[in-house]
Amino acid sequence: METTNQILKKYWGYDSFRSLQEDIINAVLEGKDTLALLPTGGGKSICFQVPAMAKDGLCLVISPLIALMKDQVENLQKRAIPAIAIYSGMSFFEVKKTLQNVIHGHYKFLYVSPERLETNLFLEHLASMDISLIAVDEAHCISQWGYDFRPPYTRIASLRERLPGVPILALTASATKEVQDDICDKLAFKKEAKRFQQSFERANLSYSVFNVASKQNKLLEILNNVKGSAIVYCKSRKHTKDIAELLTMNGISANNYHAGLSSEERNKRQESWINNTTTVITCTNAFGMGIDKPDVRVVVHYDVPDCLENYYQEAGRAGRDGKKSYAVLLYSDKEIEDLKLQSDIRFPKEAEIKKVYTAFMNYLQVAAGGGEWTNYDFDMAEFTSAFKINILNATYAIKALEQEDIISYNEVFFKPSTLTFTTTREQLEEFEKRLPQYEPLIKGLLRSYEGILDFPTIIYESRLAKFIRKKQDEVTQQLIELKQQGIVDYAPQKEKPQMTLLQNRMYNDSFTINLENFLKRKDTFEIRVAAIVNYIGETVVCRSMVIANYFNAPISKRCGICDNCLKEKNLKLSKEEFDNIAENIFKNIKGRSLPIKELLTNMKGISKDKLWKVIDYLQSEKEVEVSKDGSISKYNYQ
C-alpha cells in the first residue's frame, strides 16, 4: 500500500503536506472522528482525498455547493481519480444510473448534497456501497447558531446507524467555539474524536479598515498603489457592474461576476481573471468558493459584510502564495447604523413569513396536503411582482422557511446538460442504419465522452457541434429528437433558481414555525453583527488578534502589519518628543480651559494622533482633564 506522502506526490505533485494536514490525515486513518478547522486556502480537500486514496472503499463527500462539487469532481478526474456527483435537479433516471455505477464501478469519491441522503432511492443503494470515510464539507452549516445554517445537515448523523464504524471528517474554514461544539454534538462524534484548528496568524496579510467620504476615490487609490490581481466584494449585483465600469474608465482592467450571469459568462469571466487577462474581479459573495488562485494581492470589501465568518473567509483569498498582500474594508457610518437595524429585517414576524409562504404556494399552484419533494423553477422577481410583495421581505421569509426545513431554495443553480444512451450497442447500430442522418452525432457522442453508454455524462453542445462540424442549434435539435425516439436520455442545461418543497403544503390553520429556535437564531445574528461592528471600530488592538479571539484561537503577538499595528509603530514617542508635546500643552492651557480644537490649531506642527496619545496619558495620570464640551484644562482647574 502506498504511503500518504507517496499518494500526495503521485496525484497532486506536492513533496510535503501543509501545516496540520498530515495530523488530520493520520487521525482519519486511525478511524477517529475528526473536526478540522482550516482557513480559506488551507488545503481542506487534501485532508479527506488523500486518506480516502490510502483506504479501500468509497469516500462519501457531503457538500451544499453544486459548483464546488462540480469543480472538485473535475479536478479529481483530471488526476485520473474516479469521482462522481449527485445533486439537486438531476432526474430520477440520472440519479439511479449514477448510484448503480457507483456500486458496480471503481469510484473513490461520491459527492452528494445533504438533501439527497434522505431520499429512498439513495438509502436503497447505500447498503451496497463500500463506504470507508464520510467527509462533511462546510460543516458549520450543521449548526443553527452558525452563519449559514442548513437543516438537512442536522440529519447527517443518521448515516451512522447505517454505516457503523465509518469515521466522519468534518471540515470548515471558520467556526466559533459554540459552533465547533455543536458540530461535534450534531454529528455524534465519539469520545476519542480529534479536533484540529490552524492558527489564524497570516504573517503576510495586512488587514486595514477605512471610514472614507468617497469609497470610489479610495478604491482607485488602493488599486493604483497595489499592483496585481484583486477582488472587490460588493453587496449587490448592480454595485459589481457599476464599480467594474468605474475601474475600466480609469484604466484598470476589470470585470464583474454574480449569480445572475449565465454559467458560460461566469466561467469566461472567472477564467479571464484566473489567467490574469483581467486584473480585478468585482463580485458578490457568489464568487470565490473552490477557486485556488494564489497570487491575489488585495481583497477589498467595498460594502460592510454582515459577519466576521464571511469576512475572514473572503479576505483570506488574498496572499495564498505567502507574499505581502492586503485585506481592506471600506465603510461609512450609515452602513454601520443600517447593519445594526438588519436583525428585524432578516428575521420577519411569523405573520409575515406565513403570508409569503401562502403566496408562493399559490404561485407554484401547490394544493394543500401535497407537493413534498417536488422541484420547481422559481423566479423571485416574477413572484414578488405578481403578488406585490417587497422583494427583501420575500427573500428573508424564504430564508426563514429554509431554516425551518420547509423548503430548499437554490438561487445559484446551474445544471449542465447530461446524456446517456438508453439502448444496447446492437440496437444503436440498427438505429444508425435505419436513420443515417443521426450517425455523425451518435459517433461524435461516443468518441467524445467515454462511458456515455453506461451512465449519465455531462456534455457540452457547443464543443460537440465543433467536433462534428454542425451548428449548435442543429445539434441540440437532433439530441431532442434522439430522446423522442427513445435512444438517449437527454437533459438540457438548466440555470433557473430551484425551489424544492421538503414538506407537503400546510393548511392555513396549521402553519407553524419553531419560534423559540427562530428567536435564538435572531439573537446569534445580533451577536455576529456586534462582532463585525467591533472589528470595524477597533483602533488599537491588532486586527489579527481581534479575528483570532472571535474564533477562540487567541494569538500571542501582534501581526505588526495591520493598520492598528502600523499606527502604534508610528505613534511611538521618544521621551524628548513626549516631554516637548506635554510642555506645549501646559503652556497653552496655563490658567485657563481651552477647547481641544483651539489646542490642535495652536500646535500645528504636531500630529493629532501623537497629541492625543500624550493627552490620554496625562489624563490617566490626572494631570489634565477633558470636559464633556471638549475643553482641556489642568486637573481640578476651577
Is residue 187 domain-resident?
Answer: yes
C-alpha to C-alpha distances, 205 to 326, 343, 394, 551, nearest whole angstrom: 6, 31, 38, 18
- Beta-carbon contacts of 295 under 8 Å, excluding residues fewer than 6 positions away, are 228, 229, 276, 320, 321, 323
Full 3-state SS string of 264-333: HHHHHHHHHHHCCCCCEEEECCCCCCCCCCCCEEEEEECCCCCCHHHHHHHHCCCCCCCCCEEEEEEECH
Residues 446 and 399 in one domain: no
- Residue burial 89-106, b: 16+ Cβ < 10 Å; e: rest: bbeeebbbbbbebbeeee
Q: Which residue has the higher pLDDT, 122 or 451?
A: 122
CATH number at residue 216: 3.40.50.300
Give the model confidence (pLDDT) of 407-444 as tens digits: 988 766 667 788 989 888 899 999 999 999 999 999 99
* pLDDT-derived band at 383, boundaries 50, 70, 90: very high
Number of domains in the chain: 5
* pLDDT-derived band at 545, boundaries 50, 70, 90: very high
Query: What is the pLDDT averaged over residues 14-22?
Result: 93
Residues 182 and 309 in one domain: no
Burial of 566 (0-12, 13-18, 19+ CB in 10 A): middle
Alpha-carbon gap, residue 382 to 229, rounded angstroms: 37
Alpha-carbon gap, residue 274 to 253, rounded angstroms: 13
Give the model confidence (pLDDT) of 129-141 as tens digits: 999 999 999 999 9
Asked if pLDDT for residue 478 goes beyond 70, the answer is yes
C-alpha cell at 615: 493627552
Give the model confidence (pLDDT) of 304-319 as tens digits: 999 999 999 999 999 9
Boundary-marking domain end, from 175, 197, 219: 197
pLDDT the model gives residue 451 = 77
Residues 376 and 521 in one domain: yes
Strands of the sheet containing 418-421, edge to edge, are 457-458, 418-421, 488-491
Query: What is the pLDDT averaged over residues 374-383?
Result: 88
Is residue 284 domain-resident?
Answer: yes
Residues 302 and 425 in one domain: no
Residues 180 and 310 in one domain: no
Residues 434 and 407 in one domain: no
pLDDT the model gives residue 533 = 97
Residues 154 and 14 in one domain: yes
Give the model confidence (pLDDT) of 156-198 as tens digits: 999 999 999 999 999 998 899 999 999 999 999 998 999 999 8
- Cβ pair 173, 316 in contact under 8 A: yes
Average per-residue pLDDT for the chain: 91
Residues 112 and 162 in one domain: yes
Residues 80 and 189 in one domain: yes
Full 3-state SS string of 404-449: CCCEEEECCCCECCEEEECCCHHHHHHHHHHCHHHHHHHHHHHHHC
Q: Which residues form the domain of 581?
A: 571-634
pLDDT the model gives residue 89 = 65
Asked if pLDDT for residue 221 goes beyond 70, the answer is yes
Residues 404 and 476 in one domain: no
The proportion of the chain whose per-residue pLDDT surpasses 70, expressed as a percent, equals 98
Give the model confidence (pLDDT) of 228-275 as tens digits: 999 999 999 999 999 999 999 999 999 999 888 887 888 899 999 999
Give the model confidence (pLDDT) of 581-615 as tens digits: 999 999 999 888 899 889 988 988 888 888 888 88
Is residue 545 domain-resident?
Answer: no
C-alpha cell at 257: 461576476
Sign of the torsion formed by the C-alpha atoms of 474, 480, 484 and 489: positive
- Residue burial 300-339, b: 16+ Cβ < 10 Å; e: rest: bbbbbbbbbbbbbbbbbbbbbeeeebbbbbbbeeebbeeb
Neighbours of 277 (CB within 10 A): 11
Q: Which residue has the higher pLDDT, 292 or 403?
A: 403
Alpha-carbon gap, residue 255 to 281, rounded angstroms: 5
Asked if pLDDT for residue 556 goes beyond 90, the answer is no
Helix (H) or strand (E) segment spanning residue 480: helix 472-484
Is residue 380 domain-resident?
Answer: yes
Asked if pLDDT for residue 379 goes beyond 90, the answer is no
Alpha-carbon gap, residue 87 to 414, rounded angstroms: 11
Boundary-marking domain end, from 273, 296, 331: 331
Alpha-carbon gap, residue 211 to 61, rounded angstroms: 42
CATH number at residue 397: 1.10.10
Asked if pLDDT for residue 572 goes beyond 90, the answer is no
Is residue 562 domain-resident?
Answer: no
pLDDT the model gives residue 622 = 81
pLDDT the model gives residue 88 = 66
pLDDT the model gives residue 19 = 85
Helix (H) or strand (E) segment spanning residue 376: strand 375-377
Q: Of 138-152, 218-232, 269-283, which range is least confident?
A: 138-152
Give the model confidence (pLDDT) of 440-468 as tens digits: 999 999 999 887 887 778 898 988 999 99
Residues 513 and 367 in one domain: yes
Is residue 215 domain-resident?
Answer: yes
Direct distance between the N- and C-terminal alpha carbons of the chain, in angstroms, rounded to an integer: 86
Asked if pLDDT for residue 291 goes beyond 90, the answer is no
Q: How many residues does the chain have?
A: 638
pLDDT the model gives residue 93 = 81
Q: Cα 339–340–342 angle (5° rounding)?
A: 65
